């Protein structure tokens, strides 16, 4: 008995020594040795490639792959290649945390991209903050960057989307809204934002229903929304759920004007909702209406170039999510080019981003604003004949 | 009142899908004592292969029938390759084994079809509104086809020689062998039937619920719960179990909170296993080990 305890102690001590030895050999994440100065830049991306966020993560993966190939073919960043390491978080929070940890400790990436959705992004945030390593999320909820030091994001904040919806609702005289929202991170806090932004303009939320991001039956939610008898309805979700909800909304004859969020900017939504989508209004990035933008739009060139490159490679139009990935990639590359791989230098560079023309909008960041987009970076879009149309 | 009816209609149509999957569980378990956790994957394979057939330009009914055939072949292959070679099959071994098959099938579907979900075109017909209750044409198709399939399966087991032989294997395996019924052949037929049932569920559910590589997981779990409600050996019990589960889910989502929807099945499962392990609708509450 005594003997085995002693043996255990020796083993433990040996293990601890071994671990200490290993730790010494491995440079701390972010710290750069001589070799890294000449090797490739490493960008790690955590995306929702499978699971509920697949319709976001797949085009994002495709975009990052395409842009990395393009950049490397042109000689990389000042002659150094860029290595893009993409991990699937299976649309789960724990998957995102695991993947982020793996990219930081094993692959020792210089900057993190992702995740595609709010929940997984929030799971990555504390890891990025404590490492620390700069991270650019592609998701929407402002909570991802509120008060953060190391986390940035490219998708338009939910608050600027809600500003657009409230402004339009108020101008049309809608005073009450019924909200059917995603029950995961993307829909978290949306009601509160509507109250905060809508209150001064006399627009209030009178009913809230929620649905799981992988839900398939929306009868319960839409019946309750119908009973709320509000002036207009807001559906806040991502495809395919947002499309199925839109279908149920029409099928159950809710019969009120409907707003959707900026989460619907892809073909999957148009395919899922089909004719049911006609007439909805949603604030979306300019990407989905690229062909309808006026020539003098400052984003026109960036967007049309991206659409052309994406079409040439994948034979499909890029979604707004592809656009968020594009912006994340360009911001990361711009920071690596100008600031090198020192984490704090990258962070300071990102905080100084000014008038950076991207696909999701024109970014102007600051130490207090790690999102950098305003309500003007969205346009009101409707759907007709399975096509997004700019509302004039 | 129209709200209640609306919830019931939605519940019955998703319950019918559970009922089809549940009948598949019963078809296999009652003959061979195998709990086939890949039953839900049969539905996913059916939906996805029907989608690729329609993509190839085949008309919808043909694509659906071909998908049934594909799944029947997959089910029989699964029985031949993974189940039949095991010498001493117990229910526990079968659970572990079929869980493995289910995981492998899911991975294969992910590789072939990618992660994104898609829906088959709905069967023809106009959506109706009766007394404030909206009913989709596809929901009528689901209820109608499920009813026909359930009756056909019941007649198969009660009236046909093959069906009676399968029941004989289930009830008196040794006596069945003595009169010359091969348990192996019986198990193969049972898997083919289970495959067909899962496939019907898959092609019917696809237009409403969309199909992706992992659709089978939740469908299989719900179907298993429905089958357990019926005691796992009764076709009628499985059908009733499916419908009851669907309606309960829908009412919970409508009147309590949609977040509890998926919890209903598992709470129900625990309650039934503790209180009546022989199934709610079974005549005798006796655990089959």
The answer to which of A5-19, A115-129, A295-309 has the lowest mean pLDDT is A5-19
Q: Which of A211, A215, A251 sits opposite B127 (nearest CB)?
A: A251
**Class (C level, CATH) for A158-284:** alpha beta
Predicted local distance difference test score (pLDDT) of residue A185? 85
Q: Model confidence over A266-286: pLDDT tens digits?
A: 999 999 999 999 999 999 999
* A50 shares contact with chain B (CB less than 8 Å): yes
Give how far B182 is from chain A: nearest CA, Å.
Answer: 42
The string of DSSP letters for A246-300 reads HHHHHHTT--S-EEE-GGG-SHHHHHHHGGGGTT-EEEE-GGGGGGGS-TT-TTH
Tell me: pLDDT of A303 over 90.
yes
Under 8 Å between Cβ of A47 and A60? yes
ipTM value for the complex: 0.86
Q: Model confidence over B158-217: pLDDT tens digits?
A: 899 999 998 888 888 888 889 888 888 899 999 999 999 999 999 999 999 999 999 999
Query: How would residue B272 be classed by pLDDT, with cut points 50, 70 and 90?
Result: confident
Count chain A–chain B contacts defined by CB atoms under 8 A.
Answer: 75
Q: Are strands A41-47 and A356-357 parallel, antiparallel or unpaired?
A: unpaired
Predicted local distance difference test score (pLDDT) of residue A7? 59
Tell me: pLDDT of B289 over 50.
no
A-chain residues near B129 (CB < 8 A): 253
Q: Model confidence over A72-91: pLDDT tens digits?
A: 999 999 889 999 999 999 99
- Region A99-122: what's the mean pLDDT? 95
Identify residues of B whose CB sits under 8 angstroms from chain A CBs.
3, 6-7, 9-10, 14, 110, 114-119, 127, 129, 134, 136, 208-210, 212-214, 250, 253-254, 258-259, 261-262
Tell me: pLDDT of A16 over 60.
no
The domains of chain A are located at 41-156+303-373, 158-284
Predicted local distance difference test score (pLDDT) of residue A8? 55
Tell me: pLDDT of A10 over 80.
no
Query: How would residue B286 be classed by pLDDT, with cut points 50, 70 and 90?
Result: very low
Q: What's the pTM?
A: 0.84
More confident call, A355 vs B279 = A355
Residues with Cβ within 8 Å of residue A208, at least 6 apart in sequence: A178, A179, A180, A181, A191
Task: Answer whether B117 sits within 8 Å of A220, measured CB to CB.
Answer: no
Tell me: pLDDT of A98 over 70.
yes
The answer to which of A148-157, B42-51, B253-262 has the lowest mean pLDDT is B253-262
The domains of chain B are located at 2-275
Under 8 Å between Cβ of B131 and B2? yes
Residue whose structure tokens are 């102007």: A364
Residues with Cβ within 8 Å of residue A173, at least 6 apart in sequence: A231
Give how far A13 is from chain B: nearest CA, Å.
Answer: 39
**Which backbone phi and psi does A88 adopt, to 5 degrees?**
-95, 130
Strand partners, A42: A83
Under 8 Å between Cβ of A335 and A126? no
B-chain residues near A49 (CB < 8 A): 115
Q: Model confidence over B65-94: pLDDT tens digits?
A: 999 999 999 999 999 999 999 988 898 999
More confident call, A371 vs A3 = A371
The gap from C-alpha B247 to its chain's centroid, in whole angstroms, comes to 17
The answer to which of A18-27, A206-215, A366-375 has the lowest mean pLDDT is A18-27
Residue whose structure tokens are 């509000």: A230
Strand partners, A204: A176
Q: Among B44, B35, B14, B71, which residue's Cα sits nearest to residue B227? A: B35
Give how far A152 is from chain B: nearest CA, Å.
Answer: 27
Q: Are strands A135-137 and A111-114 parallel, antiparallel or unpaired?
A: parallel
Residues in chain A: 392
- Mutating which of B109, B212, B258 best tests the A interface, going by the most A Cβ atoms within 10 A? B258
How far apart CA A222 and CA B253 sit, in angstroms, is 11
* A234 shares contact with chain B (CB less than 8 Å): no
Give how far B58 is from chain A: nearest CA, Å.
Answer: 20
How far apart CA A119 and CA A140 sit, in angstroms, is 10
Strand partners, B101: none
User: What CATH number was assigned to the domain covering residues B2-275?
Assistant: 1.10.3470
Predicted local distance difference test score (pLDDT) of residue A370? 95
* A49 shares contact with chain B (CB less than 8 Å): yes
Task: Answer whether B258 sits within 8 Å of A271, measured CB to CB.
Answer: no
Task: Answer whether B210 sits within 8 Å of A220, measured CB to CB.
Answer: no
User: What CATH number was assigned to the domain covering residues A41-156+303-373?
Assistant: 3.40.50.2300
Q: Which of B14, B117, B254 sits opposite A240 (nearest CB)?
A: B117
Task: Answer whether A217 sits within 8 Å of B208, measured CB to CB.
Answer: yes
Quick one: closest CA in B to A50, which residue?
Answer: B115
Helices H, strands E: what count in chain B? 11, 2
Output the average pLDDT for chain B.
91
Output the average pLDDT for chain A.
89
Q: Which of A54, A211, A253 sits opposite B129 (nearest CB)?
A: A253
Tell me: pLDDT of A198 over 80.
yes
More confident call, A48 vs A13 = A48
């Amino acid at each position: 008995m005594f003997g085995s305890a002693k043996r255990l102690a020796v083993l433990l001590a040996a293990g601890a020594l071994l671990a200490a030895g290993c730790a010494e050999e491995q440079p701390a994440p972010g710290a750069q040795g001589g070799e890294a100065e000449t090797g490739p830049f490493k960008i790690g991306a955590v995306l929702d490639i499978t699971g509920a966020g697949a319709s976001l993560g797949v085009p994002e993966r495709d975009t990052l792959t395409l842009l990395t190939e393009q950049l490397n073919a042109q000689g990389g960043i000042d002659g150094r290649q860029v290595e893009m390491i993409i991990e699937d978080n299976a649309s789960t929070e724990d998957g995102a945390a695991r993947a982020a940890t793996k990219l930081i400790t094993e692959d020792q990436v210089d900057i993190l991209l992702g995740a595609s959705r709010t929940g997984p992004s929030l799971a990555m945030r504390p890891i990025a903050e404590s490492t620390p390593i700069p991270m650019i999320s592609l998701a929407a909820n402002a909570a991802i960057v509120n008060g953060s030091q190391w986390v940035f994001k490219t998708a338009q904040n939910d608050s600027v989307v809600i500003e657009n919806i409230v402004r339009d609702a108020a101008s049309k005289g809608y005073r009450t809204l019924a909200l059917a929202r995603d029950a995961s991170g993307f829909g978290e806090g949306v009601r509160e934002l509507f109250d905060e932004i809508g209150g001064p303009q006399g627009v209030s939320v009178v009913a809230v229903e929620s649905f799981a991001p992988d839900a398939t039956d929306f009868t319960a939610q839409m019946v309750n929304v119908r009973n709320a008898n509000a002036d207009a309805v807001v559906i806040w979700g991502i495809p395919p759920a947002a499309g199925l909800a839109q279908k149920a909304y029409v099928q159950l004859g809710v019969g009120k004007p409907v707003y959707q969020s900026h989460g619907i900017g892809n073909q999957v939504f148009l395919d899922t909702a089909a004719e049911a989508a006609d007439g909805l209004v949603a604030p979306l990035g300019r990407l989905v209406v690229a062909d309808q933008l006026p020539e003098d739009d400052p984003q026109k060139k960036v967007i049309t170039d991206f659409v052309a490159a994406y079409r040439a490679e994948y034979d499909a139009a890029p979604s707004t999510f592809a656009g968020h990935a594009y912006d994340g990639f360009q911001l990361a590359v711009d920071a690596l080019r100008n600031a090198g791989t020192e984490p704090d230098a990258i962070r300071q560079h990102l905080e100084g981003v000014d008038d950076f023309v991207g696909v999701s909008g024109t970014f102007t960041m600051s130490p207090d604003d790690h999102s950098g987009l305003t309500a003007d970076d969205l346009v009101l879009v409707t759907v007709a004949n399975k096509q997004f149309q700019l509302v004039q | 009142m129209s709200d209640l009816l609306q919830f019931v209609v939605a519940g019955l149509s998703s319950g019918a899908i559970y009922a089809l999957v549940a009948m598949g569980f019963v078809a296999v378990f009652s003959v061979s004592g195998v709990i086939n956790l890949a039953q839900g994957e049969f539905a996913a394979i059916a939906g996805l292969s029907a989608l690729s057939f329609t993509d190839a330009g085949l008309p919808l009914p043909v694509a659906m029938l071909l998908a049934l055939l594909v799944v029947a072949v997959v089910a029989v292959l699964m029985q031949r390759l993974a189940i039949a070679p095991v010498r001493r099959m117990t229910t526990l071994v079968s659970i572990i084994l079929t869980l493995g098959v289910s995981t492998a099938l899911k991975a294969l579907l992910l590789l072939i079809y990618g992660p994104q979900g898609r829906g088959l075109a709905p069967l023809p017909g106009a959506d109706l509104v009766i007394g404030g209750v909206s009913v989709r044409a596809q929901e009528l198709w689901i209820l109608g086809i499920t009813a026909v399939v359930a009756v056909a399966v019941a007649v198969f087991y009660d009236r046909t020689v093959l069906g009676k032989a399968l029941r004989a294997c289930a009830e008196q395996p040794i006596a069945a062998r003595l009169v010359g019924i091969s348990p192996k052949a019986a198990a193969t037929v049972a898997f083919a039937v289970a495959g067909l049932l899962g496939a019907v569920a898959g092609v019917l559910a696809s237009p409403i619920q969309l199909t992706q590589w992992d659709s089978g997981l939740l469908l299989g779990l719900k179907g298993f719960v429905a089958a357990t409600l019926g005691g796992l050996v009764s076709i009628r019990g499985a059908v009733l179990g499916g419908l009851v589960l669907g309606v309960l889910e829908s009412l919970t989502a409508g009147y309590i909170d949609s977040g509890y929807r998926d919890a209903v099945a598992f709470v129900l499962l625990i309650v039934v296993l503790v209180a009546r392990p022989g199934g709610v609708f079974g005549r005798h509450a006796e655990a089959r080990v």
